[in-house]
Amino acid sequence: MMENEVVNLFKTYQETSEYNLLVSFKGRLSQEVLTELGSMIRTSLSTESKIKKIFAVFIELAQNMLHYSAERKINEEQKDAGVGILVVRENSVGYHVASGNLVLNEKIEFLTERIQKINSMNKDELKSFYQQQLRSERPEDSKGAGVGLIDIARKSDGPLVFHFDSLDGKQSFFTISAFFTKEN
């Protein structure tokens, strides 16, 4: 039996004082949760001209977490679903859309090389690379055409920022973030 305990949110409150936290979710992702979070984003950003791009990147990051997180839980439909964290925050200059989840350490080199390659390209090169990927064979362990990270970079207003926090010899925590400038 669990005891009721005080949840101290003051540290989180202080850490988030520099920006508006529009959406924050940690847990097992499902289509229903994704739909609700999407509604929250649409409501929070209803006046933002880049809402479609921000929303599309949020969905792509969520799908990556859902499909590729090394931490898995069974959902209501008895399907395997990824666990992680999704955050959309706003500061004075723009919006950050970020996700984090566990990855197998064997994936770190591939992800690092892929994101560095994507970050080295300009918008025209990204468009070409995106189209090339659509025409090529589906990557072996991909649930799609392997264009998700490319699409995120195409829509965002700067390079993708990413980081790995090592947990043990098998897994690390992968964080990736996209940025959008405000249009005011």
**pLDDT of 32:** 83
**pLDDT of 1:** 56
User: Is there a domain that residue 4 lies in?
Assistant: no
17 has pLDDT over 90: no
Which residues, including other chains, have CB under 8 Å from residue 5's CB and lie 6 or more apart?
A: none
Dump pLDDT digits (tens) for 130-166: 999 888 877 666 666 579 999 999 999 999 999 999 9
Residue 176 belongs to what H/E stretch?
A: strand 171-181
User: Is there a domain that residue 104 lies in?
Assistant: yes
User: Is there a domain that residue 53 lies in?
Assistant: yes
Report residue 2's pLDDT band, with 50, 70 and 90 as the boundaries.
low
Percent of the chain with pLDDT over 90: 61
Q: Tell me how many domains the chain contains.
A: 1
pLDDT, average across residues 68-92: 88
**pLDDT of 101:** 97
**pLDDT of 110:** 93
Dump pLDDT digits (tens) for 33-63: 888 998 999 888 888 889 999 999 999 999 9
Query: Greater confidence, 19 or 152?
Result: 152
Euclidean distance between CA atoms 171 and 149, whole angstroms? 21
| DSSP of 69-137 | -SSEEE-TTS-EEEEEEEEEEE-SSEEEEEEEEEEEGGGHHHHHHHHHHHHT--HHHHHHHHHHHHHSP
Q: Are strands 72-74 and 80-90 parallel, antiparallel or unpaired?
A: antiparallel
| DSSP of 12-52 | HHHHTTTSEEEEEEEEE--HHHHHHHHHHHHHHTTT-TTHH
User: Is there a domain that residue 127 lies in?
Assistant: yes
User: Is there a domain that residue 13 lies in?
Assistant: no
User: Is there a domain that residue 6 lies in?
Assistant: no
What's the pTM?
Answer: 0.87
Residue 49 lies in domain: 20-181
Nearest to 157 by CA among 113, 90, 94, 86: 94
